[in-house]
Structure 1
Amino acid sequence: MKIACWNVNSLKVRLPHLTDWLAAEQPDVVCLQETKTEDATYPRAELEAAGYHSAISGQKTYNGVAILSKSPASDVQIGIPGFEDEQKRVIAATVDGVRIVCTYFPNGQAVGSEKFEYKMRWLAALTGWLRDELTRHPQLALLGDYNIAPEDRDAHPDWKDDIHVSPPERAAFADLIALGLTDAFRMFDQPEKSWSWWDYRAGAFRRNFGLRIDHILLSAPLAARCTACTVDKAPRKLERPSDHAPVIATLS
């Protein structure tokens, strides 16, 4: 089973990239972030033609998440239960016996800002919900754009901003790991300076100036099945790309 996450930064703009990538890679499940499209304008027909069912939670211009799957998804949950939020950032569903949780974590803007406080409240609510979700679904994968580089090796040495690398954000990531989840990417030897996001500005991708902020965390039963996890940089090299690259984990 091949599962993946990809912040496409506008599904309308990136749809040709996505359908080409689906045809080439044939993942079983893909979690998309920043679809930036309302449910009424979601390209369901085009993705069905590509061989994928969709569970969606979208909004205009901002945010938006979707789970694409070759097999139909069941038990779809939109949002974090008990956490009131107009922003469409979470969708969960069960696919082939695996609980897939697709997430677009808040950016946070700047440490100490109102948006940062929202990010920390959101993270606490997510962690509390997942604690219960793991008891119901031992085979669980948490995929998405976390907007957190959890360790120093996950950020370019010259990254000077506090956001994405601050102690509170990294502590919140550690709280997710403490639930019994494993960072699939770090289960394997990886090249140094392996990122999943590069700014559009200042030739960041050409200079490989980036962050690893897109992650796949696996529950213990799924981690035991994980045989590989990689970042696919190829779509980032295309014309008009997303600023993120897909992350892919393979389960036996």
Structure 2
Amino acid sequence: MKSPRRTCRPLFLLPALAAILASSSVSAAFIMTDSGTVFTPSFRGESSTTYFGWSAGTWDGNADSTPPEPTIPDIVNGTPSINPGALAGTSFLTQSGTNDVVSSTNNIYSSVAGINAAGLQLHIPTAGVVGSSGYTTIIIQGLGLNGAGFGGTSGLDAFGFGAINGILPEYVLGTNADVEGQWWAKWEIPGNAASYTVDIVGVSNSAALGVLSVTELHVDTLFSNSGYAPDFAVVPEPSALLLSAFAGLGLIARRRR
């Protein structure tokens, strides 16, 4: 399986681009180092959207939900703890493997290899008009401990995601204001299906010791007849200050629809 396309969007602070960042066309830019929580997409709660996910301590609704953990493997709880729109169903997250990937605190805790062996899949309902017309945006975000939490460096291990209808996500991975690992994955898919399925994979960074801990995961979708959601995430880079304003203008222009 192809790994998600890693993107590290530079943050340009030159005056010419600063004015553009203030405009409505790029008002949905999220700076990962400015927050200690997942972001709220600009479209959440509007018509033709869905939203669900798991908060800390809600990943396992089965026999080993309280410590100490028994020897049986986990089947990850497929019923989301975050579901304000009362989306129907109990299998939003499925696990085909039998290995234990949930800790006694009911969060994901595994090696990267363990995640890849677990056969985890997200099943994502939408609220669009099914067919080849229109535009579907899917955004998946999450939080977890970074490598320093396990005696490593600030390198990160995280959830990654496969392709949806052959389309790989734009993927941003960084450390947030609370020194947690945080990631953002966004798909732009032509047309609409009632539901999409995506594989969850482990993204490894050798400095992070190959240990993956996930506390939160949030999924948002939008269907629109006019274009994709403008939201995107960035991780600031000091080296970006050396780039020209024209490079920044080109980057923003590519985001416009």
Q: TM-score, normalised by structure 2?
A: 0.30
Structure having the higher strand fraction is 2
Decide which structure has the larger Cα Rg and report it: 2
Ranked by relative contact order (alpha carbons within 8 Å, sequence separation 6 or more), the top structure is 2
Q: TM-score, normalised by structure 1?
A: 0.31
Structure having the higher helix fraction is 1
